[in-house]
Amino acid sequence: MKRAAALSALACLLAVTAAAPASSAAPAAVRGPGHPAGTKASALDAVPRRGVLRVCTTGDYRPFSYRDPGTGGYRGVDIDMARDLAKSLDATPRYVPTTWAELVGDLAAGRCDIAMGGVSVTLPRARSVYFSEPTRTDGKTPIVRCADKDRYRTLQQIDRPGTTVIVNPGGTNEQFARAHIKQATLKVHPDNTTIFDEIIAGRADVMMTDASETRYQARIHPELCSVHPDEPFTFSEKAYALPRGDDEFKAYVDQWVHLATHDGTYATYEAEWMK
C-alpha cells in the first residue's frame, strides 16, 4: 500500500508540474528521437489514457524475457516487472518483438514506450535513449561444459587456436567477444534460445555472457557450469531503456524501480527464476 501510494503521489506531482505554466526561459517543446515535430505528450499521460504499455523486448534472454515458441506468450523477470509497471499506470502490457540490434532504434522511433528484458546500460545506447535506475549489476563471464570449467577461466585461456567461442548477434555479448577474441574461432549463432545446446553438443566450447544468464542456464542444464560468476570480466548494470527527452516518464519509472528494488518486489520475481 505504501509503495502504491508513493507512486500515485509521484504521478500526481508530475502531472501538476506538467500542467503549470512554463516560464519564459523554459523550452517550448520536448525534443529528441521520436519527437521530430517538437511537442509530444509524456508517456506518463499517454499510457494511462491508452490503457496499454508498449514494451519492446527480445524474448530470447532467460531469465529476463522469454517468448514461448509454442504459445507466443512471454515469461521472465522483466515480463513480471512489465506487468507491475503497467498496473501502476492503470494499463496492461503489450509486448513488441524486437532484436538486440534493433532494440534502441525501435524505442527511439516510438514503436514502444519502454524496452525491457535484461538490457545492459552502455554509453553508445545512452546516446539515443534514457536509462532508468538500475535493477541489478552484472558482467560478462564464461559458461562452458562442466568438464572444461578449469580450462577456460581467463581470456588468455579462452582466446587460443582450437577453441570455439559462440555468441549471439547484435548485442553486448557480440561486442565483447569481437573485442577480445583474436585467435580462437568466433561462431555467431542466430538463436539465443538454443545457443547453449551448441556447447552441450560440443559444437562450441565457450560462451561469454552476463553472469545472471550463465547462472540460470547452468541451473537448467546440469552439463554446463558458470565460471566465476561472482568475479566477471566486466562490470555492467541492467536497467530499462526509455524514450530520450521524456523526463516525466523517466522520473516515474526511476521511482518505480527504486521502490521495486528496495521493497522486495524485484527480488521476489528474480528468485522465482533462480530457485
Share of the chain above pLDDT 90, in %: 84
Query: Is the bond into 232 cis (omega within 30 degrees of 0)?
Result: no
C-alpha–C-alpha distance, residues 192 and 43, integer Å? 31
Q: Is 84 in contact with 272 (CB distance < 8 Å)?
A: no
Say what the pLDDT of residue 18 is: 45
C-alpha–C-alpha distance, residues 153 and 53, integer Å? 42
- Collapsing DSSP to helix, strand or coil, 81 comes out as helix
C-alpha–C-alpha distance, residues 28 and 103, integer Å? 29
DSSP H helices in the chain: 2-19, 43-50, 77-88, 103-108, 123-126, 155-158, 172-180, 195-200, 211-220, 247-262, 265-274
C-alpha–C-alpha distance, residues 88 and 263, integer Å? 15
pLDDT single digits (tens) 106-151: 999 999 999 999 999 999 999 999 999 999 999 999 999 999 999 9
Q: Is 167 in contact with 187 (CB distance < 8 Å)?
A: yes
90 secondary structure, DSSP code? T
**Considering the chain, what is the average pLDDT of its residues?**
89
Q: Is 248 in contact with 18 (CB distance < 8 Å)?
A: yes
- The strand pair at 74-75 and 185-188 is best described as unpaired
Residue 23's pLDDT band (cuts 50, 70, 90): very low
Q: Which residue has the cell 522469454?
A: 66
Say what the pLDDT of residue 35 is: 45
Residue 36's pLDDT band (cuts 50, 70, 90): very low
**Domains in the chain, start-ordered, CATH in brackets?**
43-138+236-272 (3.40.190.10), 140-226 (3.40.190.10)
Which cell goes with 264? 522486495
Terminal C-alpha separation, the chain: 27
Which cell goes with 58? 527480445
C-alpha–C-alpha distance, residues 46 and 89, integer Å? 10
Q: What are the two backbone dihedrals, phi and then psi, of residue 181, each rounded to the nearest 5 degrees?
A: -100, 115
Q: Which residue has the cell 514461448?
A: 68
DSSP 198-211: HHHTTS-SEEEEEH
Higher local confidence (pLDDT), 33 or 110: 110
In degrees, to the nearest 5, what angle opens at C-alpha 153 toward C-alphas 200 and 58? 55
Task: Find the mean pLDDT for residues 32-36.
Answer: 44
pLDDT single digits (tens) 150-188: 999 999 999 999 999 999 999 999 999 999 999 999 999
In degrees, to the nearest 5, what angle opens at C-alpha 200 toward C-alphas 198 and 206? 70
